[in-house]
Structures are given as structure tokens and as C-alpha cells.
């Protein structure tokens, strides 16, 4: 596993700009992935939601109006734009790390979409432990990441290898990390759910 867990040089650097990232999301068809993820969950009406690595808050477009939402990301441009766009929602956005931020309210559902493949194994364990601490007793931690699979489409593999996250794993490697922390895990492998050849793994983690 590479010691460098996040790559933001070369062509990847421009994705740090919200307008470029937003356009990329649209072209890829990210909405298809969000809808598939949410279809696996019970109703989120009136639930508290924490979105770690929230980017520009795009997930909020697909959540019920009744949710109480908090989003966390390291990119201040993403957070600034999300705070403006969703000013009329029950939503708060922070440039922060939930591993170190004190006194965070617990959530019913914690999303980490496209997070784990940016983290080393050690950092994944730290994050998943933190997510577990911030989860209500009957809550769910949802992780979604690119994954390497057997007989993978070579185009999908090349696209995944070009990702800003340098720690893309195989199915069993992601599951081993989750099972270190959570007593109940369920996972799904998705193929080409968006507009490009790609493989995702969704893991639903419960205490």
C-alpha cells in the first residue's frame, strides 16, 4: 500500500476546485451512485446524518428535507460552496476532522463516500473507530469506495488507478478493516452503476 494516501498533483489538482469537481460529478453521473446507496438503507426521514468527506455536499440533494445534516471536509472551497448552496436546509458544514473535533453530536447514519481509499490501513482503523463512537446505538456507518475485482474491465481499472486516492483495495481488504471495528457488516459490489466503467464496494456497518 502506498505511503502517500492522497494524490493532488498534475491533472488531479484541478479537482480541488469546486466548479471543476461539480462538473466532473455531473459528467460521471454521481447521482446514480447516490440513489443506489440510499436504496439500500431504511427511510432517513427525521434522521440525523453525518457526511464525512462531504465534498460540496452533493449527497444532500438526495436526502429528505427532514434530515439534520452535518458535513465535514478538508477542502475549504467545497465547504464554502456547500454552505451557500444549502443555506435553506437543516445543514451545517465544517472544515474539520471528526477524528480530532471535540463534542460532535452522534448521528443515526454516517456516510463516508469515497473516503477509505484515501486512507492508509492505520488511518482507516482510526477513522472507523471514531465513526463508531459518533454513531447512535442502532445506527449505520456507510462506506463507498472504488474496488479492485477479479477479471476487472481494464478501462475501469485504469480509471480507478488514476483516482486521487492512493489506497484502493480489494473486496476482502476493505471488509477486514470494517470487521476490526463493527460486529455486523453487509456489503455490495456494484459494476458500472455510473456513466463510466467502474467498480464500487458499499459496506453497511453496524455495532
Q: Please name the residues in contact with 74: beta carbons below 8 A apart, sequence gap of 6 or more.
A: 95, 97
The C-alpha cell that represents 103 in the structure block: 463534542
Asked whether the beta carbons of 49 and 68 are under 8 A apart, the reply is yes
Distance CA 143, CA 76 (A): 22
Q: What is the pLDDT of residues 121-151, one digit of tens each?
A: 999 999 999 999 999 999 999 999 999 999 9
Q: 176: Cβ–Cβ under 8 A, 6 or more apart, which residues?
A: none
Does residue 23 carry a pLDDT above 80?
Answer: no
39-65: per-residue pLDDT in tens?
999 999 999 999 999 999 999 999 999
- Percent of the chain scoring above 70 in pLDDT: 87
What's the pLDDT tens digit per position in 83-118?
A: 999 999 999 999 988 887 767 889 999 999 999 999
Domains of the chain and any CATH numbers: 10-57+66-206 (3.40.50.150)
**pTM score, whole prediction:** 0.88
Helices (H) and strands (E) in the chain, counts: 6, 8
Neighbours of 96 (CB within 10 A): 16
Amino acid at each position: 500500500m502506498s505511503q502517500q494516501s492522497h494524490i493532488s498533483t498534475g491533472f488531479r489538482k484541478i479537482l480541488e476546485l469546486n466548479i471543476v469537481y461539480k462538473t466532473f460529478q455531473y459528467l460521471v453521473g454521481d447521482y446514480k451512485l447516490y440513489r443506489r446507496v440510499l436504496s439500500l438503507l431504511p427511510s432517513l426521514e427525521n434522521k440525523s446524518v453525518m457526511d464525512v468527506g462531504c465534498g460540496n455536499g452533493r449527497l444532500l440533494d438526495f436526502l429528505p428535507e427532514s434530515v439534520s445534516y452535518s458535513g465535514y471536509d478538508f477542502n475549504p472551497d467545497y465547504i464554502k460552496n456547500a454552505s451557500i448552496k444549502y443555506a435553506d436546509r437543516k445543514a451545517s458544514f465544517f472544515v474539520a476532522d471528526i477524528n480530532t473535533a471535540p463534542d460532535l453530536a452522534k448521528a443515526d447514519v454516517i456516510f463516508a463516500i469515497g473516503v477509505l481509499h484515501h486512507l492508509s490501513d492505520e488511518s482507516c482503523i482510526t477513522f472507523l473507530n471514531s465513526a463508531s463512537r459518533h454513531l447512535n446505538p442502532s445506527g449505520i456507518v456507510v462506506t463507498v469506495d472504488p474496488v479492485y475485482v477479479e477479471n476487472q474491465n481494464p478501462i475501469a481499472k485504469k480509471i480507478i488507478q488514476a483516482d486521487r486516492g492512493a489506497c484502493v483495495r480489494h473486496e476482502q481488504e476493505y471488509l477486514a478493516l470494517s470487521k476490526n471495528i463493527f460486529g455486523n457488516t453487509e456489503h455490495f459490489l456494484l459494476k458500472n452503476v455510473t456513466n463510466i466503467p467502474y467498480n464500487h464496494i458499499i459496506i453497511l456497518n453496524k455495532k
